[in-house]
Structure 1
C-alpha cells in the first residue's frame, strides 16, 4: 500500500487503539516524547460561543434599502404646504414624467420640490404629548410653469403612485452618514417602539421602527439600543396575587435618523418575536 504524505503525521503522532468496549482511544504523543503511555478518551462535546458580539461598522449601501425617507414636521408646515389639486389629463394617479397642477404658498427661487404624503401622528404613549407629524417622501417634481398661485410641475421620480392631495415641500438637505459606527448612547434611554413602517404591528429583523426618544434624550445617529419585551403578569400559586415578570431582552436596533423627540431605528437582531409597544433601553 502506498501511503500519502499528508497522512503520515496522523500515523506517527496519533495512533488509534481499540479496546474491548468498542470505544476508541487516541494516544497522546508529542514530538520528542513518543514513549508516553498516557491515554485520553475523546467524545463528542458542545463548543460554546457567545451569541452576541460587537456589531461591526455598517456601510450606508448595505442598509440604504431599509432607510425611510420620512421626516417630521409641525402642524403649521402642513397647513401652509402646497398640495396637488389636479392633473393635466384629469387623472387621479400620476407617475414619473406626468405633469400636474398644485396650489398653495410657494418659496421664491425654489424649482424642485419633494412630493410627500401625510403619515402618522405620533403621541407619547404615556404622557399623550404630541411628538411630531410624519410625512413620507414618495417622489420629486420640478416646476414647469407658474401662473399666480397655480403652478405646473412634472414628476421626475416616484417611489409609488402620486395622488391628488399629496404635499409639496422643498427637498430637505441633510447630512447622510456614509458609514454607521454602532455604539451605545452616553445617556440612559428608556423608550418604547411606537410604530413599524410598512403598516404592520409585528417587528422583525431589518424592519424600520419609530421610537419615542430623540435628540432631547441624547440620542445620536449610530446609537445602539437593546429591545426588551415587557414582563408578563404571573399569578402566585399560593395567594393568587399577580406578580410582574422581569423584562426579557429580545433584540437590538441601531438609530439612523434623529429628530427632537423621535428617532428612526433599524432592527439588527431579534431573538424573540417583537411588536409595537416593546421597550428600548441603553444596553447594559
Structure 2
C-alpha cells in the first residue's frame, strides 16, 4: 500500500512507496515526557532528535517515514521546529509550517542538513581499513622494496611490488597488516586488519613485477606492505538503522582507535560479518560483562549478571568481521562485551 508523505521540509509533497524494512507488529514506544515541539540545533542527528521522542531512537526511519529506496531523504536544518503527530495510529515527526500560504523553496547547503547519524568519525574507517582472510592476504601483491634498494619509501619515491595487480585500476592503495582477529569463542581466525599507509600509481609491469610511484603517504611504505586497488565505489554516507537479525549475537573484538575503554561514537570491530547475514545499518544492544565480586558472607567469587549498557550500529561488513559505531552508552564499554539483536527476546 502506498502512502502520501506530507513532509514540509521544502514545501514539497513526496509520493513514497512502503519501506522495504519488514513492518513491526509492535507500536513505536514513546518517551514518557516527550516534548510537544523540538527546535533543531547544529550538531543534531536524526538519531539524537528521535531520542527525545522514542525509547528506541534507532527506529528513527519509522518516525520519519523514511524510504531507503529514495536517494534524497527528507532534509531538515538547524532552526526547524518539529512536532509529533499520528498517522494510522503510529507517531510521526513533521516540520512545523511557517504559516505562509505561498509555496516556497529553501536555499541552503546540503552540508548543513541534519544527518541520520554522526559521520565525521567514520570516513577514515570506511575508506582506509580493510579486513582480509588468510587466503586473500596470501594472494595479495606485496612490496619488494624501493628504488636504490630502499626498504622505506615515501611520497615521490618509486616502489616495486610482486604479484598479480588489477591493472583496471591505475591507482593502488598500499596497506599494512596491523592485527589479526581471533574469535574469542571458537578460536577461528577471522581475518587480518590492514591499515592504509599510501596511494600509488602504476607505472609499468614486467612479468609479475609492477613499478609504482607513491603519490601520497601517511606513513613510510615498507617491504611486505600490501597493494590493493583503490575502491571506485562511492563511500556509503547514509545509513538506515534496523534491528539485526533476530537471535543474532556477537562480541566486541577491539576498538579501532586503540583505546581501552569504549564510549559513544567510538568505532569497534565485532566477530560477525556478512557470513552471518550482517549488513550496514544493523543495530545491536550492547551488554557489559558482569563484574566478579566476593560474597561477604560465604567468601565465594560471584559473577554479576551482564547489563544493557548501550547501542551499536554496524557501518561496514567483511566476511567474518564487521565494524560498528557505538551510538549510545550508559556505562563504560570494553572489549569482550556482548551484543544481541534488539529482537533477541521479542
1:132 aligns with 2:132: no
- Whether 2:154 is the aligned partner of 1:95: answer yes
C-alpha spacing 1:76/1:246, structure 2 compared with 1 (3 Å): closer
RMSD (Å), alpha carbons? 2.8
Aligned to 2:76: none
Once residues 66 and 157 of structure 1 are traced to their aligned partners in structure 2, the CA distance between those partners, rounded to angstroms, is 15
Q: Residues 144 and 154 of structure 1 are in contact (CA less than 8 Å); yes or no, is this contact kept in structure 2?
A: yes
Which whole-Å CA distance do the structure 1 matches of 2:274 and 2:137 have between them? 22
Q: Which of 101, 113, 116 is matched with 2:172 structurally?
A: 113
Q: Quick one: which of 182, 186, 209 aligns to 1:123?
A: 182
Q: Aligned ranges for residues 108-187 of structure 1 at < 5 Å?
A: 109-172=168-231, 176-187=235-246
Equivalent of residue 308 in structure 2, options 240, 249, 261: 249
Q: What is the CA deviation profile of residues 18-49 of structure 1, one whole-angstrom value per residue up to 9, with x for unaligned ones?
A: xxxxxxxxxxxxxxxxxxxxxxxxxxxxx977
Change (3 A) 1:64 1:239: closer
TM-score (structure 2 length as normaliser): 0.60
Q: List alignment gaps of at least 5 residues for structure 2.
A: 1-31, 35-50, 61-114
The corresponding residue for 2:139 is 80
Which residue pairs with 1:43 in the alignment? Answer: none
Distance 1:114 1:71 in 2: 11
Q: What's the counterpart of residue 116 of structure 2?
A: 58
User: How many residue pairs were aligned?
Assistant: 238
Considering Cα pairs closer than 8 Å and 6+ residues apart, tell me whether 1 or 2 has the greater RCO: 1
Q: 1:162 to 1:204 in 2, by over 3 A?
A: farther
Shift of 1:250: 1.9
Structure 1 residues 58, 138: CA separation in 2 closer, same or farther (over 3 Å shift)?
farther
Q: Which secondary structure state, in structure 2, belongs to the residue aligned with residue 216 of structure 1?
A: helix
1:77 partner SS: helix
> Do structure 1's residue 211 and structure 2's residue 270 form an aligned pair?
yes
* Structure ranking higher in strand proportion: 1
Task: Give the CA deviation at 1:180.
Answer: 0.8
Q: Is 1:269 paired with 2:272?
A: no
Higher mean displacement: 106-115 or 53-62 = 53-62
Give 5+ residue unaligned stretches, structure 1: 1-46
Q: Is the 8 A contact 2:129 2:196 kept in 1?
A: yes
**Residue 180 of structure 1: SS of its match in structure 2?**
coil
Matched residues in 2 for 1:115 and 1:155: separation? Answer: 9
Shift of 1:255: 0.3
The structure with the larger Rg is 1
Distance 1:133 1:91, change over 3 A: same
- Partner of 2:260 in structure 1? 201
Deviation digits for residues 158-187 of structure 1, max 9, x if unmatched? 343322221112334556433112222132
Deviation of 1:199 (Å):
3.0
Secondary structure, aligned partner of 2:125: coil
> 1:19: which partner in 2?
none
Contact 1:66 1:208 (8 Å CA) reproduced:
no
CA distance in 1, matches of 2:238, 2:258: 28
